[in-house]
Structures are given as C-alpha cells and as structure tokens.
Structure 1
Amino acid sequence: MSPILPLPLPDADTLRDALDVYPDTRRVECATGDFSSVARGKHVGRADFEGQTGCKLPSVVLGLTLTGGEPVDVIGPVLPASYADVHLVPDLSTLAPRPGRPGELCVVCEPTGALRPALDASALSPRAALRAALARLRAAGLRATVAPELEFFLLERGPAGELLAARAHPDAPARERACEAYSLERAGHFDGFFDALYDACATLRIPVSGHAHESALSQYEVNFLPGEPLAQADAVWRFKRLARELAARRGFLASFAAKPFLDQPGTGMHWHLSLQHTDGRAWPHAFSPPGGEPVLQHVIAGLQAEAAAAMAFCAPFDMSYDRIRLSDAAPSHASWGEDSRSLAFRIPASSPAGRRVENRLPGGDANPYLILASMIGLGLDGLQAGRLPGDGQPLPISLTVALDALQASTTLRAHLGSPLIDAYVGIKRHESAERHAQPDPRRDWDLWHLVELA
C-alpha cells in the first residue's frame, strides 16, 4: 500500500467560483509533472474542464521516459499495459492565467484513478509524494519553509550542433566568449528576456526575487523568496518551463542540464530548509531553540543517512554525474558544516530566526517535488530518531550506483511507496540504456535531449 493519497476532488461550487474569477476564460491547460519534470497534460474547453473537474489522460504518460520510451520494467509490472485513462485532478490554489495567452488559464493537476487493485495513480505522482511528506511533518507538530536557488544556461546551437553562449537576439552580433561572472553588462543584454520572465512569474505567483550572471559561460542564477514547500516546488517546476518557452520565442535556449560544458561549473538547484513548531510557542524556530536542542543536527543526520539513495533524485541522468565527478564546488561527499560551498549540507551564516540548512546536492535537472519529499521525510526521520551527523560518506559517482542504492532503500520506500520507487528506477535505467546505446552518448543523447528537456 502506498503512503500517498489522491488529491481531493473539488466540489462543483468551489470549481465554479474559482473559474468565475476569470470570466473571459475559453480554455484551461491541465498540467501534471512526470518524473523528469516534463509538463504533460491537455488543453480543454472551459465547459469540459468544469464538467469533468479536470480532464482525462492515458495512464501510460505516468511511465514515459524523457524521450517517450515505455520501459518494460514499468509498463506492465507497475503500470497496466492497457493504457487506461487516469483523472487529472486540479489543485485550484494553482489556477492562474496562462502567461501571454488571453482567455486561457493553467492549473497544476495530480493523477488519480485505480490502476490495479490497491494502486491509485496518485502513487506515481511526485507532487502527491511531497504532499504526503508534508502531512507527516504536520503530524509531528512542524511546518517547513524553503527557498530555492536555481541556475540555468542561455545557449544556442552552432552550425554543427555545438553549444554556444546565446545572443540576446538571433540577429545580434554580441556573444559571450569567455565567462563573464557576475557581469551586469552581459546580463543587461538579456533584459528583455528577464523582463518577460519576471512578468510571467508574477502572473503565476512564482516568487522570484532576483537574478545574476553566475560563474560559468552564459550561466545565470535566479533566487526565490522563502515559502511553503508545495508552492515552492510548483514555482520551480513552472519556472523551468517558462524560461524554456520564453527563450525559444527569442531564438535561443534556456537549459537546466547539469553539465553542458565539461570545462565549466555545472547547474545547481539548491534548497534552503528551516523548520518551525506549530504549537503556538513564543519562539517557533526549531533550528535555533533557546534550550539548544540540536534539531538542525538531527535533520542533517537524517539527510546524510540516505544521501546515496537520494542522489538518484538529486542527479537523475548520467550527465548529472559529470557535475559531481568534475566538481567545481559541487559536493562529492555527504558532508556538512558552517558556510562552505563545498559541503553537501551547508549551514549559512544567519540570524537565529533565519537558521537553516542548504542542500547543495540537487542539480538543475532534478525534480523539485521529489527533492523536497525526500528532504522532508529523511530530515524528519533523523529528528525523530535523535541521530547526530557524521563526516559524510562519499556520494555515488554514477547513475547506476545511485539507482541501486535507491532500489534497496527501505527508508525511501516507506516514505514514497514502492510503486513510485520502482517506476522511477525503471524509467531512469531505460533512459541510461538508451543513452549508452549511442555511438557517442554525451553528444548523441545528453547534448541532444537534456539541453532542451532536463
């Protein structure tokens, strides 16, 4: 039995009231995120959306690889081979105008529907897995606040398919040819792109707070204000799609691939996490209590205990391990400590109220829902068991090793359910096998697919 429960179906009056806020709506985009964070779903007319309370989608979508493959370890053993429909249930708190599309709304959905006895489609939803982790946290009398930092590249392809720094416009002659770290001048070339990105983020209530040129060729980082974990995961998932769409309209690529240039730093998705008590105490901040209880250290110990298995989520593709092996401030051990960017679990300098841990393991290609679901679940394990952190073991340096660790992890199976773990491992092994079947895996698979889809 999966620990994950379906998203409740909104009643007719609640759905109608939510739609009435946007009286000119003609269509609604129903979107759900798969294991690789690809947005999948349908555009449906308003009447159909209201009549179905969402829409239907073939269940096979829940088991697809990044390239549309149907792994034999997933379709049949986990998902039924009948391609039966599942129901995409909308979370109306995410309903918003679709940026740049008058008369259209978009909403984040989760799948539900019986796939086989005792298995609902929600068991294969990364977003539902995060909801389950948050429910467990609430039962412990805690809530979490998180803030992501997300890096990405602005690129274009040369005549032979090689990757180059993007030009702000296809006809513009200016191109970055050596890393201009933190350059306001180079970032200014892309003001139009970032203006459109900020406007779209405001429409979708994505709490972006700033951006800067990062420390790799044509790489940028976007920061987010702190917030509630489910909303923050939605924000990152939506942001990645927005950045890709808006870049494509301007003739270049926004890429979250982990290591598109082997001689440049990779792409990170760092998550800052703090916990607060919900029992009304005067000082709610669990990581800096007046009595000095080492809650923060317990949480870090929980993250360390299953770091090898969690790496399958933090680094979900073979290319992701180039970022670890060819490290440039990317952690290679499950280490922890104060304010060093080489650590996996860093404690930044802060005020007592801002005390937090930064997980620096995830790459920009990671699924934000699975990252937060595993972080919160494992951190709570460490807290409830009273564990204390150690030096930190070496992290897997290949996807195969990380997937083996995830497959064997009874702890993450207890949190996320065996159906989700088995489907995720099956999908990622299929992608890896497809990649390794290419004459030049990095050129023919990584740089062909991951640059545009990761």
Structure 2
Amino acid sequence: MSNWQSKIPDPARDYIAGRRLDEVECILPDIAGVARGKAMPAFKFDTQSHFYLPTSIFLQTITGEWADAPAGEDEYKEPDMTLVPDLATATAAPWTADITLQVIHDAMTQKGEPYPMAPRNVLKRVVELYAEQGLTPVVAPEMEFYFVARNTDPNMPIMPPMGRSGRVAAAKQAYSMSAVDEYGKVIDDIYDFAEAMGLEIDGILQEGGAGQVEINLAHGDPVALADQIFFFKRMIREAALRHDCYATFMAKPIEGEPGSAMHIHHSVIDRATGRNLFSDAEGQETPAFMHFIAGMQTHLPAATVLLAPYVNSYRRYVPDFAAPINLEWGRDNRTTGLRVPISAPEARRVENRLAGMDCNPYLGFAASLACGLLGLREQKQPRAECTVNAYMGDDGLPMTLGEAVDIFAEDTALGEILGADFAALYAAVKRHEYTEFQAVISPWERQHLLMNV
C-alpha cells in the first residue's frame, strides 16, 4: 500500500482493498460547483504531492465563456495555483469501469496560502471567522432534485421520466412511497454508490413535483457537508444515466412544477461550553438566536445571488409553488423564508428555505452562515415573528439575476466576510452570465410578440 493510501478514509481503503487502483481523479469545485481538475494513473499520483491549474478557471461562466478579471488583477496571464490533495476527502468513483478514487484538492497560491477565489476556501474562511469568536457552525442540508426524461434538444421542454410501471412520473404525490418506487432502480444505485463512497443518507422521500426527490443529510461540519453534496450531485447524475434518465439540480426544470431547494439548517456551538448558542441553561431561546435571525433578514437580499445563482433560479421564486419569497421568520411555519423547526433545546436551529439546489454548496453555506455571523456581530433584533401565511409576501428579495448582483455588490459587510476579492470576481462572473442570457431570444418572445406587436 502506498503511504498516502494509509491516510485515506476507511470506505476508500475498503473500496480498493485487494484490487489494483487504476486512476485517481484530482478535482476541485469551480464557481458553479462543477468538478475541475485532472485524472492521472494511480502510480503517477503516488509520486506527485501537488500539481498546477490556472487560476482563470474561477473566471469561467456556466456556459464556458470567460468573465473579465476584476480591476487590478492580472488574470489575463492565467497564472498557476497549486493544488494539494486533501486525503480526508478521498472516496470511490464506483460508476467508472476502472477502479478509481476521487480526491478533492485545496487551491493554494504559489506562496502556499489559500487561494481566496476558490469556493471551498471561501467557506473555510467563514468557518474560521466563527472559530475566532469561539464558535463552531453546524449545518444540515436538504437536497431536492428531479429525475427527468433524457433531453438532448435544448429547444424542447424538460419532461418527467418514465417510471417502472410504464407511466410518466406523476406530480402532487409528496411523501408517496409508491411514487418513489417508480424509479426504485435508480434509488438502489444511489444507495449502493453512497455506501461505496462512505456517504451517509439520512432519508429519501418523494417531493411534490413529477419525478422530484429529496435526500436529507445528517447535521455536521459545513465544509465536510459541502464536500458530500459536491460528491452527491456527481454520483446521482451517474446513477440516473445508468437507467436512461437524467438527474437535474436546476432550480426550476419543469414548467408548472415546484422548484428544487437546498434548505439549510443552521445552529452554532459555543466551543467553551459545548452547548448550542441558541439555547440557554433553561432551554429557552437566547439573544444570540434572535441576532442570528436578524442578520439573515438584513443580509440575505445581498446573499441571494449566491443562493440563486442563475437566471433560472428566479423562476423558482413565484407564489404558490412552495418557495417562500420573503424574509419572515416563524416557528414551525413552512411559508416563511426563515423557519424555526420543532426541536429539543440542544437542537434549536434556523432553516434557510431560500437557497436553490442549483447553488454551489460551498458558496451557499458560506453566504448563509455569513449572514448569521453578521447578525451576531451587529446584535440587531429581528422583526416580529410571522404567525400567518407568508407565501404571498413581497419582501425586498431580488427577482432577477441582474438585480441580485447589484444588491450583492452594495453590501460591503457581506463582501468582507466572504473576501472582497472573491466578491468582486463572483459579481464579474454573474454579470457576464446575465449579459449572455439577455442576448438570447426565448420561445415565449417568439410565440407572443412575433405577430402581435
């Protein structure tokens, strides 16, 4: 066994035990959360402690174009950054023909410092800012996504998949076990792949859309859970392809169906006491709990561009489709953007229901936690609890990507938490994507304007 193989997690060691490891995929998430990197023969990885990629990969838009570097940067030179393996992330790629491991790499500058534009480093920065205040943030994500029929023509609408019964997956079947069973073979592969990869699934259920599924993950460290979602997205897509369908994490893939969210549950641990910062010794809500909520109400409009990063994301923010379009908070109220679930005092938490499943999990967690951290610093009070239906509220959230970028650029406090250089780069990428979208003429425009105006 190579020396590095003794340092990888048990599931990865078990996966390659008694077998010849063929390949190692050296990867890192880009701005969109897409896996970038290099694949190399295992014997090459044995002798290589790091390798290089150009920093310009973080200027690449979702369409493959390149945004301009922020003023003062020399990205036109495409300088290299150093990628160093985080062996604690090593996991199987069980869908490949050969025996393959995936390893997430940390992006470092040539001086050996964390590269500030890398999304994983942005999240680590936010977690470290909590640590400097003696705090440990904890998150628990819920992943919603769709299985859909193969779609090889972008001009055609996305359709629900065919189930094992021979019928198209039905909508409005939330929590139905028979609906989940319709694509049971895909679910079986997801379970098998997750076991091989050492990924823990807390539960799988049918959501309200046709072919829409939710996977819940257990609470834990934000970076580790972002890594898991990064791996899960890739793995779920591969499982779907085995069964002649696609898995999509678009926020709103099918017209007339609910969107897909990534609800994020937050709590904070006081390192000195080991207790939940949101509950006092008597089990009651603390002032810090209220400050955290107030911070989210104050800064989530600016953070929206990280939680809803594409033009399609804002199609999820429509009334009557189970997506809260507000910054209200409420106890056990799913119509509010900020929900406080029923829990024991030690598990008291805030659920951010605004994030879409299309967001980069590293940046989604970072943005949401940054809002809460600003609340703890600013010590403001939230508005009064909402005890009615908040779905129809209009609460100052941006409704287009262009508006969201503008609001993000104006919130210097949020930008400072995430890193000013990163904030400038992210805004540049999103402006470029929005400009590209504005150049496309849609079917709606051709249908309703061509002969009528």
Q: TM-score range by the shorter chain?
A: 0.7 to 0.9
Once residues 99 and 48 of structure 1 are traced to their aligned partners in structure 2, the CA distance between those partners, rounded to angstroms, is: 21
Residues 38 and 98 (structure 1), Cα distance of their counterparts in 2 relative to 1, 3 Å cut: same
Q: 1:376 aligns with which of 369, 381, 395?
A: 369
User: With structure 2 as the length reference, what TM-score do the two structures score?
Assistant: 0.87
Equivalent residues of 2:300, 2:371 under 8 A apart: no
Query: 1:276 — aligned with what?
Result: 269
| Alpha-carbon offset, residue 340 of structure 1 | 0.9
Residues 16 and 266 (structure 1), Cα distance of their counterparts in 2 relative to 1, 3 Å cut: closer
Residues 131 and 14 (structure 1), Cα distance of their counterparts in 2 relative to 1, 3 Å cut: farther
Q: Percent identity?
A: 32
Query: 2:398 — aligned with what?
Result: 396
Once residues 183 and 79 of structure 1 are traced to their aligned partners in structure 2, the CA distance between those partners, rounded to angstroms, is: 54
Query: 2:427 — aligned with what?
Result: 425
Query: 2:280 — aligned with what?
Result: 289
1:128-167 residue pairs with structure 2 within 5 A? Answer: 128-157=121-150, 161-167=156-162
Query: 2:449 — aligned with what?
Result: none
1:31 and 2:27 correspond = yes
RMSD: 2.5
CA offsets 1:184-230 (integer angstroms, 9 cap, x no match): 11211211111111222223332211111101121111111111111
Equivalent residues of 1:258, 1:323 under 8 A apart: yes
Query: 2:437 — aligned with what?
Result: 435
| Alpha-carbon offset, residue 326 of structure 1 | 4.2
Residues 182 and 15 (structure 1), Cα distance of their counterparts in 2 relative to 1, 3 Å cut: same
Equivalent residues of 1:59, 1:79 under 8 A apart: no
Residues 178 and 271 (structure 1), Cα distance of their counterparts in 2 relative to 1, 3 Å cut: closer
Equivalent residues of 1:42, 1:55 under 8 A apart: no
Paired letter, 1:288: S
Equivalent residues of 1:316, 1:399 under 8 A apart: yes
Paired letter, 1:58: P
3-state SS of 2:263 partner? strand
Residues 135 and 267 (structure 1), Cα distance of their counterparts in 2 relative to 1, 3 Å cut: same
Query: 1:90 — aligned with what?
Result: 85
3-state SS of 2:268 partner? strand
| Alpha-carbon offset, residue 110 of structure 1 | 2.3
Equivalent residues of 1:377, 1:415 under 8 A apart: yes
Equivalent residues of 1:86, 1:112 under 8 A apart: yes
Q: Where does structure 2 lack aligned partners over 5 or more consecutive residues? A: 385-393, 447-453
Query: 1:125 — aligned with what?
Result: 118
1:250-329 residue pairs with structure 2 within 5 A? Answer: 250-280=243-273, 284-290=275-281, 292=284, 293-329=286-322
Q: 2:106 aligns with which of 102, 110, 118?
A: 110
Length, aligned pairs only = 424
| Alpha-carbon offset, residue 300 of structure 1 | 0.9
Equivalent residues of 1:34, 1:40 under 8 A apart: yes
1:197 and 2:190 correspond = yes
Query: 2:223 — aligned with what?
Result: 230
Residues 103 and 142 (structure 1), Cα distance of their counterparts in 2 relative to 1, 3 Å cut: same
User: With structure 1 as the length reference, what TM-score do the two structures score?
Assistant: 0.87
- Between 213-222 and 100-109, the greater mean CA deviation after superposition: 100-109
Residues 79 and 390 (structure 1), Cα distance of their counterparts in 2 relative to 1, 3 Å cut: farther
1:53 and 2:49 correspond = yes
Once residues 167 and 21 of structure 2 are traced to their aligned partners in structure 1, the CA distance between those partners, rounded to angstroms, is: 41
Paired letter, 1:422: A
3-state SS of 2:66 partner? coil
| Alpha-carbon offset, residue 79 of structure 1 | 5.5
